[in-house]
Chain A
Amino acid sequence: MKKLILGNAAVARGLYEAGCAVASSYPGTPSTEITEEAAKFPEIYCEWAPNEKVAMETAFGASLAGKRAFCAMKHVGLNVAADPLFTMSYTGVNAGLVIAVADDPAMHSSQNEQDSRHYARAAKLPMLEPSDSAEALDFTKLAYRLSEEFDTPVLLKMCTRVAHSQSIARLSDRQEPEVRPYQKNPQKYVMAPANAVRRHPAVEQRLLDLAQWAETAEVNRVEDGSDHSLGIVTSSTCYQYVKEACGDRFPVLKLGLVWPLPERKLRDFAAGVDSLVVVEEGDSFLESYCRGLGLSLRGKELFPLTGELSQNLIGEKLGLSRHMGSALTEELPNRPPVMCAGCPHRGLFYALSRLKCTVLGDIGCYTLGAMPPLGAMDMTLCMGASVSGLHGFNKALGADSEGRTVAVIGDSTFVHSGMTGLANAAYNQSRSTVIILDNSITGMTGHQQNPTTGFNLRGDPAGKIDLEALCRAMGVNRVRVVDPYDLKACEAAVKEELAAEELSVIISRRPCALLKYVKRQPPLMVDPDKCRGCRACMKIGCPAISIREGKAVVDAAQCVGCGVCGQLCGFDALKEGK
């Protein structure tokens, strides 16, 4: 059966067809939908783990036990999971183990643009790279075959344009794989030095074997062209851009396995064309390998190391036509993402903005607190860095910063990597003030459950971390909860905890306004006789309020009736709706 299917859903379908039994992931754009879609198949046990390292180790355990296993993450998640990854390369697998990692060139929803292919090389693991949904499905199944045949975890590299594009794929039935009973084998699975020393040569041999396989593998294919003045080496979505720009004019070596690379195939391809061009997004990964072979080529001298490539760019650089459109001549106001109307983070950030706090931030929707008019963020680095960063900031500056500097971190991010930072702060007697923005969901990636919500991936009741008890158990004596819709209470709480000469945690608690179970209140009403157009209500940056002809106007379609703007009005002009 043919189906128009999202790249991520195609990976999930591949998991189903390959007989995958266990999937554990942490959500991260653009990888999230793989595990959400996999969870729709009752044959696959799927879960959200607190972070990528835990997810990968869970998948490893399932593979060791003898069932095909999987985990998915965004590119930066692989940094978190790098520790098990590098040693799993030594142990190999029992049943097939596939790890999907989704890069985000152009950073549509990410904090950096790192190129995950380096991990395949560094950890000495094979990496498959599909270019559309059909390949996403097929390569997922192939990954399991390679994993078991070569005794290795296999990396499946996605990128935003493959993960979040729909294209047509052919679906088949699920094939239950042969059972691989667990057998005790400490020489292979206990990576103490004496055993690891013996495993390392096996890893090197495996790479050579895989490179040999890559020479004849169908996934590394040459598509001939009519014009041999140029030959193009490419992979992933860049292959699609190349075909769009050049059609069948130039020969193309399309690489489906981007590590290890097929030396002879590359040399033969180069020998058959007058000049060689490598087209790849991100770093000069394929290019560096080809240069190492002594091949003469053009790559990053034509194409940027930053952002995404496109058919126009490739056409232009290869001397072909470029399509042009006409833009308006005037500059248009941009439209950055904003906190939603009724977002519970807004009230807390307003308090931080009023108190002119230095705010060490974290990864999530609340990073939008950095945007005007709130502008209440000084740093965003990676998952969990707010808490540990604040501890370092305060140790460096002491009382100078302790009374005016806070960390803000979401509930899911706190469990992911903030807890260990808080343990460090408590242990090393920090006087920091940490604010957990508990909106009872993983928001930015589109509402995934997490260990603080009480529900699992499928929405069934699950274990639930009691954040207050957890913080107290780690040695934080001052733990308090505020409602971020209450501006006065937020400001008072932040002031008091900053003044306290010990570590404190404020939990700003209210569920995300977009959650289905959160009841919307009627939209606020503006009394035009009372409104003086002073713009006080505009200080919170709510997209539901604007000023038209000198008066505040509430967009009834967006307003959820949170009432935060009304607390800013000195003239009682914003009333509860009916």
Chain B
Amino acid sequence: MKTKNIMIVGVGGQGSLLASKLLGHLLMEQGHDVKVSEVHGMSQRGGSVVTYVRYGDKVASPVIDQGEADAIVSFELLEAARWLAWLKPGGRVVVNTQQIDPMPVVTGAAQYPEKLVEKMTAAGAKVDPVDCLTLAQQAGNAKAVNLVLLGRLSHYFDFAESAWQEAIEACVPAKFLDVNKRAFALGQQA
């Protein structure tokens, strides 16, 4: 199987590490070679962060380059747009429509761009916008945005439901399991 590429992007502190851990676990259990490249350190402090998840028969590079991502999963709208050049032509963008102002917008030096979903679609991406924050709150915890996103992403991969459930159980701490399973289900139904 040719290597497949999923990028997880967002704002430092939004919880992308759990999403990549869960995906990595799921893909390895499916018998794939897997590489996951993460960001630690300074850029975690509210900066733009990106995690690369790659799987296939034999994965070499730990990173995804421009024009290579089959899917971009974004925790935030502007971050999806920022990494769009990394998407393969016609690739899929699953995006939380939440907007978090970056510091240049906070200080008034820049404006938060408008109509980003439309602009990404016009650039050739298949965009799937989801209000994950509302769904996460509905599930019982605003921090469950990552599981809502993964629930939505599960539409585009034909892994058995049981495989997803097993990965969630393996990666999510027991006391948060119920809320995260609800969030995953809400993402699937969205």
Closest to A446 in B: B40
Residues facing A in B98-133 (CB within 8 A) are: 100-113, 116, 119-120, 123-124
Is B82 in contact with chain A by the CB < 8 A criterion? yes
Contacts of A109 in B (CB 8 A): 40-43
Contacts of A324 in B (CB 8 A): 66-67, 89
Asked whether A326 and B124 contact (CB < 8 A) given A311-B65, A337-B46, the answer is yes
Residues facing B in A320-361 (CB within 8 A) are: 322-328, 330, 332-340
Contacts of B108 in A (CB 8 A): 535, 538, 547
Contacts of A339 in B (CB 8 A): 45-46
Contact B36 A444, beta carbon cutoff 8 Å: no
Is A368 in contact with chain B by the CB < 8 A criterion? yes
Alpha-carbon separation in the docked complex, A541 to B65 (Å):
33
Contact of A336 among B25, B34, B103 (CB under 8 A): B103
Alpha-carbon separation in the docked complex, A17 to B12 (Å):
34
Contact B62 A240, beta carbon cutoff 8 Å: yes
Residues facing A in B6-45 (CB within 8 A) are: 11-13, 24-25, 28, 33-45
Residues facing B in A533-552 (CB within 8 A) are: 535, 538, 541, 543, 545-547
A-B pairs with beta carbons under 8 A, tally: 186
Asked whether A237 and B113 contact (CB < 8 A) given A4-B28, A164-B37, A336-B103, the answer is no
Contacts of B61 in A (CB 8 A): 237, 240-241, 243-244, 310-311
Contacts of B150 in A (CB 8 A): none
Q: How far is the CB of A26 from chain B (nearest CB, A)?
A: 15
Q: How far is the CB of B107 from chain A (nearest CB, A)?
A: 5
Q: How far is the CB of A139 from chain B (nearest CB, A)?
A: 17
Is B59 in contact with chain A by the CB < 8 A criterion? yes
Is A53 in contact with chain B by the CB < 8 A criterion? no
Contacts of A557 in B (CB 8 A): 142
Contact B43 A333, beta carbon cutoff 8 Å: no
Is A212 in contact with chain B by the CB < 8 A criterion? no
Alpha-carbon separation in the docked complex, A325 to B45 (Å):
28
Contacts of B73 in A (CB 8 A): none
Alpha-carbon separation in the docked complex, A224 to B60 (Å):
16
Q: How far is the CB of B18 from chain A (nearest CB, A)?
A: 13
Contacts of A325 in B (CB 8 A): 66-69, 84-89
Is B63 in contact with chain A by the CB < 8 A criterion? yes
Is A312 in contact with chain B by the CB < 8 A criterion? yes
Alpha-carbon separation in the docked complex, A324 to B86 (Å):
8
Contact A333 B34, beta carbon cutoff 8 Å: no
Contact of A543 among B46, B67, B87 (CB under 8 A): B46
